[in-house]
Structure 1
Amino acid sequence: MGRTRPGDARGKVLKAASTLFYRDGIHVVGVDAVAAEAGVTKAALYGNFGSKSRLVVAYLRERDRAWQEQVDEITAAHPDPRQRVLAVFDAYEEWLSRDGYRGCAFLNATSEFPDPADPVREVVRHHKTALHGYLRAQLARAGAAGADRLADELMLVLEGAAVQSVVAQDAGPFRTAKRLATSMLAA
């Protein structure tokens, strides 16, 4: 195996951490396993992230960035804000079915990091708040009455579908949730 250039190690470690943390759980996976999966030394891992905690935060931030990119890509095809809201359900379905129905990485991380003051929880709050804000902004653009309340309700429907899709190991709950959201938007 050739030497990893310093700039390459960060990306390799993030990719390996994403695979292992999502598949096996964050606390179960040690830095030795991440370094081995990435094909880098532990020194390279620590040189880029400083600690496992900071690696976990970087992993979640990268997932958030990728999620936002996917939502933007899927919703951009819809000029109508109500259709953009419904397209978020499609984005969730595509994301979780591609990832093998292990659930929402952010909710999974929350269950592993119960302290509300933990930096991991801050990344989760940011992710969920950004999604809520996106829904609220689209609803306001559409002129929906009670955009804040409706965004709250749609978040519950989305999160419930995410959990049910894991239980069922199937995307069906997202289709049901999208039908429910369609009814909510028509009211």
Structure 2
Amino acid sequence: MTIATETPTSARVPGAKVRILETATALFYGDGIRTVGVDRLIGESVVTKATFYKHYGSKDRLIVDYITLKHETARQQFESIVESADSAEGALRAIVAAIVAEIARPGFRGCAFINAAAEFPDPNHPVRAIVVSHRDWYTSALADLLTAVGHPMPGDAADEFLLARDGAMTGGYGGDPIAASAALQRAADRVIRAAVAR
């Protein structure tokens, strides 16, 4: 009796809709949303034009799905870190470590949400709405952790934490990633110590 050792091709190859979104995610983050055209998305996704339009209808809908996926992924990662930590302080420090690791990752190109906001300056554009919603969620989630560690002003501290993260992500891409990461760690440590020192 022969035991099959390979997964059938149909199980290994993602469906066309998933493949298009995965391709868009890599290209939009790596090269910029506006610079990537539909023909390139179709070619690199290895789908037909009809298949692309059947699943997404337009590049605009794909862009919204891309930034929505970025939010969902970030949220899942954040929640996973919090669930794995032994305390709220441990979770905050683990979040900083995850940001530092992201900045050091090959192909890092800054924060996907800041990049998207820069490409879509109209505050009424659906992409901007998702970016604002993401940042509101992120600030609220940080404030919850800072409340749990006893920070006297968790909302303000969450704003400071997020601003330090934004600066590190931008500085890590546009400048010296080591210096940016070290600055983030110092800023986050000050925010956390303001709570645990009480």
TM-score under structure 1 length normalisation = 0.90
**Separation in 2 of the partners of 1:175 and 1:70?**
22
Gaps spanning 5+ residues in structure 1: where? none
**Separation in 2 of the partners of 1:177 and 1:133?**
19
- Percent identity of paired positions between Structure 1 and Structure 2: 33
Question: Letter of the aligned partner of 1:151 in structure 2?
Answer: A
Gaps spanning 5+ residues in structure 2: where? 1-8
**Separation in 1 of the partners of 2:159 and 2:42?**
40
Alignment length, in residue pairs? 183
After the TM superposition, which parts of structure 1 deviate over 4 Å for at least 4 consecutive aligned residues? none
1:68 to 72, 75, 88: 75
Q: CA RMSD in A?
A: 2.0
1:5-51 per-residue CA deviation (whole Å, 9 max, x = no partner) reads: xx811110011101111111111101110111111112211211121
Q: Match for residue 29 of structure 1?
A: 36
Deviation at 1:175?
Answer: 3.1
Q: Match for residue 116 of structure 2?
A: 109
**Separation in 1 of the partners of 2:99 and 2:30?**
18
TM-score under structure 2 length normalisation = 0.85
**Alignment check: 8 A CA contact 2:103 2:177 kept:** no
Question: Letter of the aligned partner of 2:156 in structure 1?
Answer: R
Which range is displaced more, 163-172 or 109-118? 163-172
Q: Match for residue 66 of structure 2?
A: 59
**Separation in 2 of the partners of 1:121 and 1:99?**
27
Q: Match for residue 104 of structure 2?
A: 97
SS at match of 1:59: helix
SS at match of 2:123: coil
**Separation in 2 of the partners of 1:49 and 1:99?**
30
